[in-house]
Amino acid sequence: MTRRPALTVVGATGGAGSVMLQILSQHADVWGEVRLVASARSAGRKLLVRGEECEVLALSEEALDGADVVVFLAPDEIAAHWAPVAAAKGAVVVDSSAAFRMDPDVPLVVPELNPHAVRMRPRGIVASPHPTTLAMIVTVGALHAEFCLSELVLSTYQAVSGEGQAGVEALRRQISLVAGTGLGTSPGDVRRAVGDDLGPFAAPVALNVVPWAGELAEDGWSSQELGLRDELRKLLDLPRLPVAATCVRVPVVTTHSVSVHARFENEVDVARAHEILATAPGVVLFDDPAAGEFPTPADVVGTDPTWVGRVRSSPDDPRVLELFVCGDNLRKGTALNAAHIAELAAREFTAR
Amino acid sequence: MTRRPALTVVGATGGAGSVMLQILSQHADVWGEVRLVASARSAGRKLLVRGEECEVLALSEEALDGADVVVFLAPDEIAAHWAPVAAAKGAVVVDSSAAFRMDPDVPLVVPELNPHAVRMRPRGIVASPHPTTLAMIVTVGALHAEFCLSELVLSTYQAVSGEGQAGVEALRRQISLVAGTGLGTSPGDVRRAVGDDLGPFAAPVALNVVPWAGELAEDGWSSQELGLRDELRKLLDLPRLPVAATCVRVPVVTTHSVSVHARFENEVDVARAHEILATAPGVVLFDDPAAGEFPTPADVVGTDPTWVGRVRSSPDDPRVLELFVCGDNLRKGTALNAAHIAELAAREFTAR
Ligand SMILES: NC(=O)c1ccc[n+]([C@@H]2O[C@H](COP(=O)([O-])OP(=O)(O)OC[C@H]3O[C@@H](n4cnc5c(N)ncnc54)[C@H](OP(=O)(O)O)[C@@H]3O)[C@@H](O)[C@H]2O)c1
Ligand SMILES: NC(=O)c1ccc[n+]([C@@H]2O[C@H](COP(=O)([O-])OP(=O)(O)OC[C@H]3O[C@@H](n4cnc5c(N)ncnc54)[C@H](OP(=O)(O)O)[C@@H]3O)[C@@H](O)[C@H]2O)c1
């Protein structure tokens, strides 16, 4: 006899959480009870999911009782503490935070790439990669399967919603301050207009780009730059792949972009790369600059797939491809990948 | 006996032109007569230079008479036609457009790098590089002199004023349309708000990044991407240097940034790179992420030097350095470099 597994979403009130509620309302419904959890601040709020109002519970031991699958869309430190609690209660935990991604006993899963890894979870926890990794991994993984990657050089264009609602609100406040002004052409004028109101960013983000994301890790690298390297190595099972990333925040609300310089063991050609990308699952190839076709965040936001364009090679080195990829950091970048993983886990219950 | 040479500025009314007028008012005054020229649309306008009002002349054969040095800060096709006319009249022409940069009989000059090339001008024309090249060349040139470059991978973050006043106005209009709204999170919402009003860009630039700058060149590369490669090769005298550039427009008014991945023949170390950059002329080293120090356009705009930060190396390859550079595209990127070249040429007259 099969039964529908119970799902608990921790962080249901956030940016990624609200996308998760949409997804739960739109995808084929595999779930029994769906429970919504957030901080005590949100307890008692009512949110719409699967066409019904559902009351938000404050995160606690009891709130995690009875769940078969628990998805965390919450800050790192919340997931670090509560994911093992949920796992100890017997749930399969899907965590989209950074807390467990590099734990050797936690699989890092992208269902298009390594769906079977979901079952290999000694701690009961499955991690979902960072949105920047997710913007590029299916594209790069498909090319790797054919040509064998030997090096990546990456520069990112990361949206402010990567820092949650706080990031979005900071950009909106700052844009209101600079809109309709002549700002952006004199020394310090944007800084003066924005003042100390930087939100979660290290510098003003309106009319600016900020070459910093995360914390200082080591030797001048940021945590997100090294995280991107480490996640790509783990997902591709290439533990020594050279990956040089520069993470930059840009004044885009949602959708991360990455300029990718990929070197392979074998010679590549653009026509074959196009064929591979045109059929890769979850990838949209949008690559005809003569017709104005290349991905931009404004066109990609709100869509499920990741998009790739500007595919080109150079006579300088026939083993190199350049690509520009975009992925909605709240959809495939967070909630959608977590939902895909949770749906894989749900099959274990319905198959029992 | 020495005399002060006469200077004519073509394009005096534009974005780069107005910075040139500031520079002429601020630098040590080496000039005799200064004449301002623009299109017939601007004829009769009065602009302030060196503390005096000066009437703008329409570009014509006569407007170019009598000049010792003519600086073009005007569109490519205007420079292509009129620079040889000015040269035929005996003037030294300094052109900041793309029209002559790759002409083998026209030196491409960055005074910090190759000042003597100003005198080797068989056509009477000296070209100034593209602002993106100028944002990085002094930094990269100084490191090359010590470590010997072998490869560059570049991703740019280019400001809208790179497309002149039209680009600035397009961004300002678009920002007014999206400020104070919830735009940027739903499919197509920014495109709908902006409508067809794209200005000189291939896609909306407010709340967006556009991985396209210039025209379609060959095999999917844009003219600016190949231009950046070709200018760097010419300036560094490394005709086969592998340079893979991805040019991206961002919603910044003024100041281009470049994420630079530089591979050298020799092993590099960050401490030595810091020493070199700290003393390179016209470069500001701003590199202490722990103290929030890295260059951003908002801090660099309006300043003369180019700025470099995020200098780091990786255990993956001890011959590689990562850098993030910013340069004001209207100052060192256009008007200031042209002024520096013009001042070198002026010495030829004062030394006679
Ligand atoms: N957005 C991205 O691009 C991105 C990137 C990487 C990883 N992620 C992961 O996804 C998470 C959510 O991202 P987001 O953009 O949705 O952030 P967000 O908009 O700031 O939402 C944070 C969510 O976590 C909940 N939360 C905060 N403190 C809590 C606590 N003490 N106990 C229980 N719940 C708490 C919040 O509930 P309240 O509303 O009650 O405060 C809210 O539901 C991130 O924290 C991160 O781990 C997101
Ligand atoms: N801005 C950059 O980052 C950048 C980048 C690369 C190269 N450049 C070079 O610098 C030039 C100026 O850039 P900008 O940003 O100052 O552009 P801009 O603001 O659009 O100004 C263009 C200037 O050229 C003049 N002009 C246009 N058509 C003319 C004509 N038919 N005859 C005479 N003058 C004419 C304009 O005069 P009116 O006001 O009378 O129209 C104006 O003074 C560019 O065209 C390019 O060659 C600039």
pLDDT higher than threshold 70 for residue B336: yes
A289–B172 CB contact, under 8 Å:
no
Q: Are the CB atoms for B63 and B12 separated by under 8 Å?
A: no
Percentage with pLDDT > 90 across chain B: 91
The partner residue sitting opposite A208, judged by closest CB among B216, B243, B296, is B296
pLDDT of residue A187: 86
Residue A179 has what pLDDT?
85
Query: Is residue B18 lining ligand 2, measured as CB closer than 6 Å?
Result: no
Q: Which ligand is nearest to the CA of B11?
A: 2
Q: Which of residues 92-111 of B touch A (CB under 8 A)?
A: none
Could you give the angle at which helices B131-147 and B270-279 cross, rounded to 10 degrees? 120
Spatial separation of the C-alpha atoms in residues A72 and A80, rounded to whole Å: 10
The alpha carbon of A281 is separated from its chain's Cα centroid by a whole number of angstroms, namely: 17
Grouping H, G, I as helix, E, B as strand and the rest as coil, residue B295 is coil
Does the structure show a pLDDT above 80 at B2?
no
Any chain B CB within 8 A of the CB of A175? yes
Report the pLDDT value the prediction gives residue A350, as an integer from 0 to 100.
78
User: For ligand 2, is residue B17 a contact (CB within 6 Å)?
Assistant: yes
User: pLDDT value at position A184?
Assistant: 85
Tens digits of residue pLDDT in A288-310 = 999 999 999 999 999 999 999 99
Contacts of A179 in chain B (CB under 8 A): 175-176, 179-180
Residue B14, pLDDT > 90, answer: yes
DSSP track, B50-94? TTEEEEEEEPSTGGGTT-SEEEE-S-HHHHHHHHHHHHHTTPEEE
Closest atom of ligand 2 to B162 CA is: 3
Average pLDDT for B319-336? 97
Closest C-alpha residue for ligand 2 atom 15: B164
* Confidence (pTM): 0.96
Q: What is the pLDDT of residue A3?
A: 82
The predicted-structure confidence for A246-290, as pLDDT tens digits, reads as follows 999 999 999 999 999 999 999 999 999 999 999 999 999 999 999
Instruction: Nearest by CB to A289, from B216, B294, B301: name it.
Output: B216
A2 interface with B at CB cutoff 8 Å: no
Q: How far apart are CA B42 and CA B276, in angstroms?
A: 45
B217 near A CB under 8 A: no
- B22-34 residue pLDDT tens: 999 999 899 999 9
Per-residue model confidence (pLDDT) at position B180:
77
- pLDDT greater than 80 at residue A152: yes
- At residue A182 the predicted structure's pLDDT band, cuts being 50, 70 and 90, is confident
- Confidence tier at B314 by pLDDT (50, 70, 90): confident
Give the list of residues 6+ apart from residue A177 with CB closer than 8 angstroms, or none.
Answer: A193, A194, A206
pLDDT at residue B303, rounded to an integer: 96
How confident is the model at residue B86, as a pLDDT? 98
The answer on pLDDT for B350 being more than 80 is no
| Strand-pair category, B317-327 with B256-264 | antiparallel
Amino acid at A63: A
pLDDT of residue A352: 57
User: A184 in the Ramachandran plot: left (φ > 0), alpha (ψ -120 to 50) or beta?
Assistant: left
Per-residue pLDDT, A331? 95
For residue A339, the SS3 value is helix
**Model confidence at B143: pLDDT above 60:** yes
Sheet containing B243-246, strands listed edge to edge, beginning at the edge strand earlier in sequence = B243-246, B149-157, B256-264, B317-327, B306-314, B283-285
For the segment B194-241, what is each residue's pLDDT rounded down to a tens digit?
988 899 999 999 999 999 999 999 999 999 999 999 999 999 999 999
- Would you state the pLDDT for residue B352? 57
Give me the mean pLDDT over the A128-155 stretch.
98
Per residue in B256-311, pLDDT (tens digit) is 999 999 999 999 999 999 999 999 999 999 999 999 999 999 999 999 999 999 99
Please determine, for residue A351, whether its predicted confidence score (pLDDT) is greater than 90.
Answer: no
ipTM, two decimals? 0.95
Once rounded to an integer, what is the mean pLDDT over residues B163-187? 90
